[in-house]
Amino acid sequence: MYLPVLLRKLHLPLLFCSFAHGYLFDDQHLFEAPDFILRDSLGPMYTINYENVPYQGRMGMVQAHYSLPHNASGPVPAMVLVHGATCNADSGWVKHWVDRGYAAIAMDLNGRHVSYGRYWDAENWDAGEEMNYKDTWYYYATAAVMRANSFLRSRPEIDTTRIGVIGISWGGWLTSIVAGADTRFDLAIPVYGCGFIHENSKWITPDPITSPSYINIFDPKNHLPQATMPMLWVSGTTDCCYPADSRRKSYALTKGEYCLAERINYGHYCTQPYSHETIYAFVNSHFKSEDKLPKFTRWGWTQDSLWTEYETTRALKKAELIYATNADWSSWKQMGWSDKGAVIDTLHTRISAALPSNATVVFFVVYDEHDREVSTPHIDFSVDPPAGIRTYNRPLPVTISKQQTVPEGTPHHGVPSILFIPSNGIRQPSHRLIRIWRSDGAFIGQMQAGEVLNSAQLPKGIYVYRPVDKQAQSSVR
């Protein structure tokens, strides 16, 4: 299949709203098919220049590599590939995806080739209070990724229900923004990059990136709450730029299901994710109906042990407990991360491990038969309670204490909450069936709508409950 030779008239795009009157990335133009120039027609690796938003009064043009699987029949899934700071649009990365049956586009964000605005110019970084936010590199680069999505959606050879985005390093940071700014994407994969970098990262020294305008407008924390697609977060415990505590805060903001793949000493290289099979397995499971990666359904901890329950259609090869012995996140590169074997109980689909007495941050990494890894969220004893439980791949959002009645609508969307049970009991919300677990993971029972639990039935203490969807009630035991 060959991309038809096409030269379209280019025009200066019009922006339809300003940040003062709406969400920064609500401009309708970002969601429309961009005009583009096909620079060659030889294939299978095409070079195109596509239209972007203006940059500091000049027409914005982005150069990109675009390719399709050989002899593809019918519309194919596609990936948008977002490079990091010292890298550029890489046709080799495109080829990795094409060889696996995907169309792919990798665009230049650094002002090289034909695009405007040099990446490292100070004025691009500084989103000052007197500056037009749309004249910053932050906005220009995010718009370039969104317009690549719009380009793919205009192509008849692309299946528009299967388009994902992956970014590496600064590209991962951009992916964390785009996941909330452009919810047309069907999945998103930030590698290394995340939000909250003004709180802890390589860039916490005096820098425009710590300015209030950056923090309140461009940091991914402002956009991730709108992200609803499945996300895979890939990184290492001692990443040189983006520490795990900033990543932990980032994935906790998202509304969709997320998966983590974190290792000790993963490194931080532009090309390392090209051969990371966990990434391809994650995308294949969503876009090609292949077996999903192992999923953690519930996990809990005390000061002495960590456990998790899981679902998988893949054989598990091994499980490891990853732990740090230093909770000083300001020196995250020297936190003393170690690993030890964990016990896999295949009969009860449960993994467990005793915790070292000096462990401060802990999580599991599980490897399937093909060495594809997934990890549980981090338990940080400097901020988390000494014992707890989490459910359905979501963070604990709120603690409810000293209340006789559970507030209507809490918890919601299957997200668990911790309950402090007073002596006179609690009343169930009016329209839900909920299941209750003790903090050590033991199942206590369930409550029908309007039922009351008293101290005799449920002694005073910390418990976790989860609402059960109506369609799932018949299977509850």
Q: Give the CA diameter of the chain.
A: 77
In angstroms, rounded to a whole number, what is the distance separating the alpha carbons of residues 194 and 188? 12
Tell me, what's the pLDDT at 441?
53
Tell me, what's the pLDDT at 144?
95
**In the chain, domain spans:** 19-287, 295-391, 399-475
Q: Summarize the chain as % helix, strand, coil (round to 5).
A: 20, 30, 50
Residue whose C-alpha is closest to residue 251's, from 325, 179, 311 = 179
Tell me, what's the pLDDT at 126?
45
Tell me, what's the pLDDT at 119?
41
Q: Which string of DSSP letters, residue by residue, matches 231-293?
A: EEEEEETT-SSS-HHHHHHHHTT-SS-EEEEEETT----SSGGGG-HHHHHHHHHHHS-PPPP
- How many residues belong to the chain? 477
Tell me, what's the pLDDT at 284?
96
Q: Which CATH class is domain 295-391?
A: mainly beta
Q: Tell me the pLDDT tens digit for each residue of 314-373.
A: 899 999 999 998 877 777 777 889 999 999 999 999 999 999 998 999 999 999 999 999
Residues 288/280, Cβ–Cβ less than 8 Å: no
Sheet containing strand 443-447, strands side by side? 399-400, 417-420, 462-468, 433-438, 443-447
Low-confidence stretches of the chain (pLDDT beneath 50): 1-21, 113-130, 393-433, 439, 449-450, 452-463, 465-477
Tell me, what's the pLDDT at 444?
58
Second CATH level (architecture) for the domain 19-287? 3-Layer(aba) Sandwich (3.40)
